[in-house]
Chain A
Amino acid sequence: MAKKPATIQGEKRVKTILTVVFAVVAVVYLLPIFLVLMNSFKANAYVNTETFAMPNEESFVGFDNYVKGMTFGNYPFAKSVGYSLFITIVSSALILVCTSMAAWYIARVGSTFSKIVYYLCVFSMVVPFQMVMFTLPKTADTLHLNTPWTIPIIYLGFGAGLAVFMFSGFVKSIPLSIEEAAAIDGCGPIKTFFNVVLPMMKPTMISVGVLEIMWVWNDYLLPYLVLDRKKYMTIPIHIQYLKGSYGSVDMGATMALILLSIAPVIVFYLTCQKYIIKGVAAGAVKG
């Protein structure tokens, strides 16, 4: 269609072809997830040899893999799920509350100290975790931050950079007159923050929240190094432990656990995808 201006009908046909092509590509794109689902119902011996075949009479084991997976690796999977959920929810909530308050302080006070903190936060965004991986676990041990109940403080510290950066960027765009009006009406800073500033921050809250949830939920190395491994596991640690341990691995049961761990993420994604796509894309500022 180089020279002739495409007729409306021709354009329509191209669009229909494109839709069909994309539909095929989309199905192929989802194939890995289907494969996990399929193989989670197969006996271990068949996962490697008949990966792409539907479960048949011989290989089908029903929900055995799921039952087996629950206690697989001498650690209850439900416990890992519980710890993952707790750490993710508490860390994200803590980050949202603390950093939004800190960002408001930084953006509105503008003292030398707050500027230093701000630039340190920006700086921390470009530091990879490997830089602190030898020293952070020791610090966490000394301060007893090595349990699921206290690790959110570590997450707040290491994750503060991006959150403070995003929040203070937003605060700077809010007109000061609203807060001035609140101050004249006799609102204290705490009341002003929670009743006036926080509601305005909602879109940024959602973006930062999505980013932090996805980060903490999928994080492997930080909890692996910081937590007491014998007592506490999160889902990524659990799955890595199953596969990484020597000896034969029950692939069927592993696939069952993998499916269980991605199912909630997919449901979460499908229910609030608009916010998730926006939030994750906002993280593009991070180096």
Chain B
Amino acid sequence: MALFKKKNDGAALNSVLVRRPIQKCFPIFLLPTFIAFCIGFLYPFAKGLFLSFCNFKTTSKWTWAGLGNYVKAFADESFLHAFWYTAGFALVSLLIINILAFTVAYLLTKGIKGSNIFRTVFFMPNLIGGIVLGYIWSMIFDGILSRYNTSILLNSTYGFWGLIILMAWQQIGYMMIIYIAGLQAVPGDMLEAAKIDGASEWKTLWNIIIPNVMPSITICTFLTLTNSFKLYDQNLALTNGRPYNGAIHTTEMLALNIVNSNTLKTKGVGQAKAVMFFVLVAIIGILQMKSTHDKEVQQ
């Protein structure tokens, strides 16, 4: 084993005794997943990247277009609108969801009766799929709005806040779970010391609790951000972009805009939009991984 002394930590974890026999079983262990990975991810991804520089009607009939699709995507008003709409939505939902989730988590860790039941209730909407969720809430909103002779499909302000309410209902429970884990990890002796020193509850919260749950806050911030940017099902089911204002679908978010570009004429542009969308989501994802890397909170 001394032969394999490397500086690399990963190599130190391996011993020849275990490694050699596994390596011989490559076709059983790694190959099935690798082939499926190529079919379901690698090939479509590479092809998609390539096709974003082409005009195409079917994926096998293409002509080179260079950066033309990207130029067209930037000239597409509905795409720009969807971007700013999504960014605005992300910001508002980020603030609302995190503030509410933190408050709920904070109060639920105070040892009140029934905490577990409340936790169960608040987490539940998380398990309902986006399409179903959208239709449940469209029934509720239209039930209210029909009294005023309007509908969530007729007014983009209602559409925006409707989607915020829906997402808050779905995600507060999830973020609450992460905050509860963070709050339970705040060192008890610090809290006790603060109490003995006569610090007010407010001061304890700001100076001890919040600095200690910073990792949870980072995770939840990124999660709400990516969830908003990748939002599709709920957007489709609740308003599907309506009301329309010419070419602009006023409540259409990025993901829906890209899917709606899946028409014969604009497929190349749609793929270019998808590449830019991927870059945006990937940057957020990489920032998240980096910022949570040193402080592993999971499991």
A residues whose Cβ falls under 8 Å from a Cβ of B:
1-3, 5, 15-16, 18-19, 22-23, 25-26, 29-30, 32-33, 35-36, 39, 47-49, 51-52, 98-99, 101-102, 104-111, 114-115, 117, 120-121, 124-128, 130-136, 138-140, 143, 145, 153-161, 164, 172, 176, 179-180, 183-184, 188-190, 192-193, 203-204, 207, 214, 217-221, 235-236, 239-240, 243-244, 251, 254-255, 258, 261-262, 265-266, 268-270, 273, 276-278, 280-282, 284-285, 287
The yes or no answer to B247 lying at the interface (CB within 8 A) is no
Q: Assess A134 versus B51: contact at CB under 8 Å? Given A19-B113, A110-B10.
A: yes
Given A134-B274, A135-B48, A236-B132, answer yes or no on A114-B30 (Cβ-Cβ < 8 Å). yes
Would B18 and A133 count as touching, CB distance under 8 A?
no
Closest to B166 in A: A32
Residue of A124, A130, A131, A188 most packed against chain B (CB within 10 A): A130
B276 to chain A, nearest CB (A): 10
> How many angstroms from the CA of A266 to the CA of B126 in the assembled complex?
11
Dominant secondary structure at the B interface: helix
Cα distance A234–B48 in the bound complex, in angstroms: 26
Specify which chain A residues have a CB less than 8 angstroms from the CB of B60 in the assembled complex: 138
Task: Name the one of A110, A140, A262 contacting B19, with C-beta atoms under 8 angstroms.
Answer: A110
Are B33 and A99 in contact, with the CB atoms below 8 A?
yes
> How many residues on the B side are at the interface (Cβ–Cβ under 8 A)?
109
Q: Which of B119, B122, B130, B240 contacts A220 (CB 8 A)?
A: B130
In the complex, how many angstroms separate the beta carbon of A212 from the nearest chain B beta carbon? 13
With most chain A CB atoms within 10 A of its CB, the pick from B26, B33, B108, B270 is B33
Task: Note all chain A residues with C-beta closer than 8 A to B88.
Answer: none
| Shortest Cβ-Cβ A-B pairs, 7 listed | A157-B40, A287-B285, A51-B143, A218-B129, A126-B285, A132-B44, A102-B33
Q: When the two chains form the complex, which single residue of B32, B39, B289 contacts A139, counting CB atoms closer than 8 Å?
A: B39
27 example contacts (A-B, Cβ-Cβ < 8 A) are as follows A2-B202, A19-B112, A110-B14, A126-B285, A128-B274, A130-B258, A130-B259, A133-B258, A134-B262, A135-B51, A135-B59, A143-B39, A157-B37, A159-B40, A176-B15, A189-B25, A203-B299, A218-B131, A258-B136, A268-B127, A273-B123, A277-B177, A278-B299, A280-B177, A284-B178, A284-B297, A287-B222
Task: Say yes or no for B281: interface residue by CB 8 A criterion.
Answer: yes
Apart from the given pairs A32-B125, A117-B37, 8 other A-B contacts in the complex at a CB distance below 8 Å: A15-B113, A105-B22, A111-B23, A124-B37, A134-B262, A243-B237, A287-B222, A287-B288
Nearest CB on A from B65, distance (A)? 15
Q: Which residue of A lies closest to B273 (CB)?
A: A130
Instruction: Tell which of A1, A52, A157, A277 touches B201, judged by Cβ atoms closer than 8 Å.
Output: A1
**Is A98 touching B267 in the complex (CB atoms < 8 A)?**
no
Least CB distance from A250 to B in Å reads 12
Contact check, B13 vs A110: say whether CB atoms are below 8 A apart: yes
Tell me whether B193 is interfacial, beta carbon within 8 Å.
no
The answer to whether B267 and A134 touch across the interface, beta carbons within 8 angstroms, is yes
User: When the two chains form their complex, are residues A156 and B139 in contact, meaning their CB atoms are under 8 A apart?
Assistant: no
Partner of B33, one of A26, A164, A254: A164
Complex CA–CA separation, A34 to B210 (angstroms): 36
B21, A136: Cβ atoms closer than 8 Å: no
A243 and B135 contacting across the interface, CB-CB below 8 Å: yes
Cβ contact within 8 Å between B44 and A109 = no
Say yes or no: A121-B13 contact (C-beta < 8 A), given A131-B48, A262-B132.
no
B50 to chain A, nearest CB (A): 9
Residues of the B chain whose Cβ atoms lie less than 8 Å from the Cβ of A277: 119, 123, 177
Is B121's CB within 8 Å of the partner chain A?
A: yes
Distance A31 CA – B168 CA, assembled complex (angstroms): 15
Cβ of B186 < 8 Å from any Cβ of A? no
